Amino acid sequence: MGYEVKIIIGCLGTSGKKAAREEAPVIDCDTLYYPYLRGEDGGVVYTNTIETYFMTYAEIDLCKIGDAEIGKVLTVNKGDSEIYWYGADGNTRIHSDCYDDKPNVASVADCIKALEVDVKNDDYRQFKWALALLKSMKGENDVCVIWCGH
Which is more confident, 150 or 10?
Answer: 10
- Structural domain contains residue 43: no
pLDDT tens column, 109-142: 999 999 999 999 988 889 999 999 999 998 877 8
Contacts of residue 148, defined as CB under 8 A and 6 or more positions apart, other chains included, come to 5, 6, 8, 94, 97, 103
Mean pLDDT of 10-26: 83
Global pTM value: 0.76
pLDDT digits (tens, 9 = 90+) for 66-112: 888 988 888 776 666 688 898 888 878 888 888 888 888 899 999 99
27 contacts 58 by C-beta, under 8 angstroms: no
Give the number of domains in the chain. Answer: 1
Which tops the pLDDT comparison, 36 or 77?
Answer: 36
**Structural domain range at position 88:** 4-17+49-149
Residue 8 lies in a domain: yes
Q: Is 40 a domain residue?
A: no
